[in-house]
Structure 1
Amino acid sequence: MKYRVLKKQHNSKKCIVCGMENNLGLKASFYEIENNEVVAIFKSLEEHQSYPGRLHGGIASAILDETIGRAIMIKDPNMWGVTIELNLKYKKPVPLNEELKVVGRIIKDTRRVFEGTGEILLSNGEVAVTAQGKYFKMPVDKITDSEFQEDEWKIIASSKDPKEIDI
């Protein structure tokens, strides 16, 4: 099903998942879509390998963690999800060097904590990995110094940014 992209989220400089200046990172782009989910789009590198031709499970965990954790930004762009717990189920191998999508959403939201689920989708639409996590809500100034938002955290627009995402 196709969903309209409402907003692109920020990227950082050096994050292993979203850092655009991290040569070994995923350089994932994150989009808020009309059904209140976040979709990450990324392409892994050979350096993200576990078994030959397969994405390392730890990298799969990292992209799912960040995607679910970013879902809180739909409600409050200044709030971040800081991981308390993350559980994954690996269902199918995730190939390298292929553009993939990760979907994340909130399933429970309280004053200080939220819970979410997500999945890595293969190019054919099959679910490869699922995750469920619990996160503290924290503003960025409680996590890192205040210069982060000015120096390290920007929306990087591209002509390749989708207007719709099929999931």
Structure 2
Amino acid sequence: MKREILKKFNNSKLCLVCGMENELGLKARFYAMDHDEILAVCMPMEEHQSYPGRLHGGISAALLDETLGRAINLTEPDAFGVTIGLNLTYRLPVPLDREIHAVARITKNTHRIFEAEGEILLEDGRVAVEAKGRYVRMPAEKITDASPEEMGYHLYEGGDLKEFDL
């Protein structure tokens, strides 16, 4: 099913998951999709492996944690999610030699805490890894002393999508 991409989100400079200037990072790009879901897209490197040809489970966890935590940006663009709990189920190996897609959505949203769920999808649509997480909503200035400029937090060029086949 074709899904419409509504918006591209900011990245940072050095984050392991979204840092565009982190030589060993995933350089994941994030997009708002229709149906109130967020999409993460990245291309893993050999340095992200566990067994040869397989993405390390901790890297899968980091990608899903970031994607679930960013799902709040679908309705609250200036909010950040700080992880208070994350549960994963690994169903299938995630290959290293192709682009990875993670999708997430908010399942519960209260004044201070939100919950989200998501998955890493293989090319054929099968779910490789599932995640459920709980996050505290916080503004950036309560998380770090670094300014958005110091973090390199802005829209980076490239990787623009118009639609995604889910």
Query: What's the counterpart of residue 16 of structure 2?
Result: 16
Kindly indicate whether residue 18 of structure 2 is the aligned counterpart of residue 25 of structure 1: no
SS at match of 1:19: coil
Equivalent position amino acid for 1:114 in 2: F
Q: CA deviation at 1:150?
A: 2.3
Query: What's the counterpart of residue 101 of structure 1?
Result: 101
Q: Distance in 2 between matches of 1:146 and 1:96?
A: 33
Q: Distance in 2 between matches of 1:145 and 1:109?
A: 26
Kindly indicate whether residue 53 of structure 2 is the aligned counterpart of residue 58 of structure 1: no
Aligned pair count? 165
Query: What's the counterpart of residue 73 of structure 2?
Result: 73
Residue identity over aligned pairs, in percent, reads 56
Query: What's the counterpart of residue 86 of structure 2?
Result: 86
Q: Report the TM-score, using the length of structure 1 for normalisation.
A: 0.96
Q: Distance in 1 between matches of 2:129 and 2:36?
A: 20
Q: Distance in 1 between matches of 2:149 and 2:53?
A: 38
Q: Distance in 1 between matches of 2:157 and 2:32?
A: 14
Q: Distance in 2 between matches of 1:33 and 1:145?
A: 31
Superposed CA RMSD? 0.9
SS at match of 1:128: strand
Query: What's the counterpart of residue 2 of structure 1?
Result: 2
Q: CA deviation at 1:2?
A: 1.2
SS at match of 2:65: helix
Equivalent position amino acid for 2:37 in 1: E
Q: CA deviation at 1:76?
A: 1.1
Q: 4+ residue stretches of structure 1 with deviation over 6 A?
A: none
Q: Report the TM-score, using the length of structure 2 for normalisation.
A: 0.96
Q: Distance in 1 between matches of 2:13 and 2:146?
A: 15
Q: Distance in 2 between matches of 1:74 and 1:93?
A: 29
Q: Distance in 2 between matches of 1:138 and 1:166?
A: 32
SS at match of 2:114: strand
Q: Distance in 2 between matches of 1:40 and 1:47?
A: 19
SS at match of 1:35: coil
Kindly indicate whether residue 125 of structure 2 is the aligned counterpart of residue 125 of structure 1: yes
Q: CA deviation at 1:146?
A: 5.0
Q: Distance in 1 between matches of 2:67 and 2:89?
A: 16
5+ residue gaps in structure 1?
none
5+ residue gaps in structure 2?
none
Q: CA deviation at 1:157?
A: 2.9
